[in-house]
């Protein structure tokens, strides 16, 4: 299975059981369209479109061409006090695609950095607005906002938090998550139960005084935690409470944006407008790392004031608005429009929903949930070995069925291409059934 001539010990892989992987490496050498090719020449279907990243397919020729041209023309431009035209063009294009009122974009290099950027902007806004006591942040249980200390602090995935708990930032609370098997198992789209869980924000306001709370940050439809579509009315209720108490609402759309839920942004699909939106992944179709935070005029104008020679926000990265990443993003946004990708994804949703719920009768499956082109099949864990069954399904898919999917513990996750072929989606879940049948 593995190339014995390839040294594996030096690279410490992220979010991976390194010893298990290196015993039988699952290596990919190239990609094109909807497929990977392994080092032993097998063609493998990508059921996760990269890592939520590559909705247009791998190695899209227009993005490849844009990157090649840009790296030969301007490989890097100093990011502080000097800039380049493409990043301004990108900001204009991105904000034009965003919900009405979002007119400014701050760029970084990843979704993790985008989350921390959004939190810093929220704190800076309240200080500039004459409310410096608004410093408390509110995340949500089972939320994922990257792996920087700010994102881990407001995030709610316990394995990500426990090793670093002594160094998480203070002044953070968490809303309850909306997952409930007894009420919402095997939901299709938005669950009916759970909107009332947003009201926990009122309890936090009563506890801390709303004048001390800066922002609430959530994923509209959480992805990495195992796909938890928001209950009907939940986001609307949370928006109402944030407005009522002067709290900024941040939508982490690193996964949700760019067609994943059938629209340019989850805010559009769910009909709820936040104050800050974070993006990454699909911004460049995964070709070059890039993230960002998009904000309203009100936030930008409040912070960007004072003497014109003074730096208004002491935040940024060496690679903020990188020229090659900007070129990749511009090409990606153009393709979304030219190919009608978001409408195409929306039209594909019924096919995906039917295919994933075809596993609802399997005795090892305890829940299925989906929204847009993101879905999860939750398996009953083995006694005393949580996660073992899910990892085995992932590995058997790769070796036995020429299929890449993602497992989070015992939750099998799917993220089809925005332009996936219906026959491929149906075939993928036929393979999944065979694998689940085969595992203990």
What is the per-residue pLDDT for 6?
67
- Verify that 50 and 71 share a domain, yes or no: no
- Verify that 159 and 188 share a domain, yes or no: yes
What is the per-residue pLDDT for 174?
98
- Verify that 200 and 322 share a domain, yes or no: yes
What is the per-residue pLDDT for 5?
52
Strands, DSSP E only, in 149-190?
172-175
Report the C-alpha gap between 193 and 216 in whole angstroms: 21
- Verify that 52 and 103 share a domain, yes or no: no
Domain membership of residue 8 (yes or no) is no
Report the C-alpha gap between 304 and 146 in whole angstroms: 27
What is the per-residue pLDDT for 2?
45
| Residue 280, domain extent | 64-338
- End residue of a domain, out of 338, 357, 372: 338
* Cβ atoms < 10 Å from Cβ of 386: 11
CATH of the domain at 180: 3.40.640.10
Domain membership of residue 6 (yes or no) is no
Q: How many residues does the chain have?
A: 440
Sheet of strand 213-218: strand arrangement: 102-108, 291-296, 276-279, 248-252, 213-218, 136-140, 172-175
- Verify that 313 and 174 share a domain, yes or no: yes
- Verify that 204 and 347 share a domain, yes or no: no
- End residue of a domain, out of 315, 338, 361: 338
- Verify that 187 and 328 share a domain, yes or no: yes
Judged by DSSP in three states, 414 sits in: strand
C-alpha to C-alpha distances, 104 to 87, 89, 277, 296, nearest whole angstrom: 12, 12, 11, 7
What is the per-residue pLDDT for 97?
98
Query: What pTM was computed for the model?
Result: 0.97
Report the C-alpha gap between 314 and 269 in whole angstroms: 33
- End residue of a domain, out of 338, 368, 383: 338
Report the C-alpha gap between 379 and 376 in whole angstroms: 10
Name which of 98, 91, 10, 158 is nearest 321 in CA terms: 91
Domain membership of residue 13 (yes or no) is no
Q: Which residue has the tokens 């491929």?
A: 424
pLDDT in tens, the chain (440 residues): 445 456 999 999 999 999 999 999 999 999 999 999 999 999 999 999 999 999 999 999 999 999 999 999 999 999 999 999 999 999 999 999 999 999 999 999 999 999 999 999 999 999 999 999 999 999 999 999 999 999 999 999 999 999 899 999 999 999 999 999 999 999 999 999 999 999 999 999 999 999 999 999 999 999 999 999 999 999 999 999 999 999 999 999 999 999 999 999 999 999 999 999 999 999 999 999 999 999 999 999 999 999 999 999 999 999 999 999 999 999 999 999 999 999 999 999 999 999 999 999 999 999 999 999 999 999 999 999 999 999 999 999 999 999 999 999 999 999 999 999 999 999 999 999 999 999 99
C-alpha to C-alpha distances, 368 to 118, 224, 227, 300, 385, nearest whole angstrom: 32, 15, 9, 41, 21
- Verify that 116 and 240 share a domain, yes or no: yes
For residue 48 the two structure tokens come to 């996760």
What is the per-residue pLDDT for 218?
98
What is the per-residue pLDDT for 290?
98
**Count of structural domains within the chain:** 2
């Amino acid at each position: 299975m593995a190339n014995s001539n390839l040294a594996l010990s030096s690279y410490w892989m992220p979010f991976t059981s390194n010893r298990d992987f290196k015993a039988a490496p699952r290596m990919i050498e190239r990609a094109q369209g909807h497929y990977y090719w392994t080092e032993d020449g097998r063609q493998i279907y990508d059921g996760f479109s990269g890592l939520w990243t590559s909705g247009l397919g791998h190695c899209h020729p227009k993005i490849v061409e844009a990157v090649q041209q840009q790296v030969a023309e301007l490989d890097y431009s100093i990011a502080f006090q000097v800039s380049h035209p493409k990043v301004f063009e990108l900001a204009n294009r991105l904000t034009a695609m965003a919900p009405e009122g979002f007119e400014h974009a701050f760029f970084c290099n990843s979704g993790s950095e985008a989350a921390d950027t959004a939190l810093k902007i929220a704190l800076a806004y309240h200080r500039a607005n004459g409310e410096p006591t608004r410093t408390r942040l509110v995340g949500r249980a089972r939320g994922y906002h990257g792996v920087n200390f700010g994102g881990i602090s407001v995030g709610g995935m316990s394995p990500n938090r426990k090793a670093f708990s002594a160094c998480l930032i203070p002044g953070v609370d968490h809303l309850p998550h909306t997952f409930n098997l007894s009420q919402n198992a095997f939901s299709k789209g938005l669950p009916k139960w759970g909107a009332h869980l947003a009201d926990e924000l009122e309890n936090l306001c009563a506890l801390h005084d709303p004048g001390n709370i800066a922002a609430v940050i959530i994923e509209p439809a959480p992805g990495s935690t195992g796909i938890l579509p928001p209950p009907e009315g939940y986001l609307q209720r949370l928006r109402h409470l944030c407005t009522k108490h002067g709290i900024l609402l941040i939508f982490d759309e690193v996964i949700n944006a760019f067609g994943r839920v059938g629209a340019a942004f989850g805010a559009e699909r769910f009909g709820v407008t936040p104050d800050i939106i974070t993006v990454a992944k699909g911004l460049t179709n995964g070709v070059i790392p890039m993230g960002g935070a998009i904000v309203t005029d009100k936030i930008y104008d409040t912070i960007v004031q004072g003497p014109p020679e003074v730096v208004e926000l002491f935040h940024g990265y060496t690679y903020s608005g990188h020229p090659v990443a900007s070129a990749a993003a511009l090409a990606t946004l153009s393709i979304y429009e030219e190919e009608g990708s978001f409408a195409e994804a929306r039209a594909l949703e019924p096919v995906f929903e039917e295919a994933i719920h075809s596993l609802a009768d399997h005795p090892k499956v305890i829940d299925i949930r989906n929204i847009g082109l993101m879905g999860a099949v939750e398996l009953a864990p083995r006694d005393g070995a949580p996660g073992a069954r899910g990892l085995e399904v992932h590995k058997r898919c790769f070796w036995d069925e020429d299929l890449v999917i993602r497992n989070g513990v015992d939750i099998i996750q799917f993220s089809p291409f925005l332009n996936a072929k219906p026959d491929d989606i149906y075939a993928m879940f036929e393979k999944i059934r065979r694998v689940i049948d085969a595992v203990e």
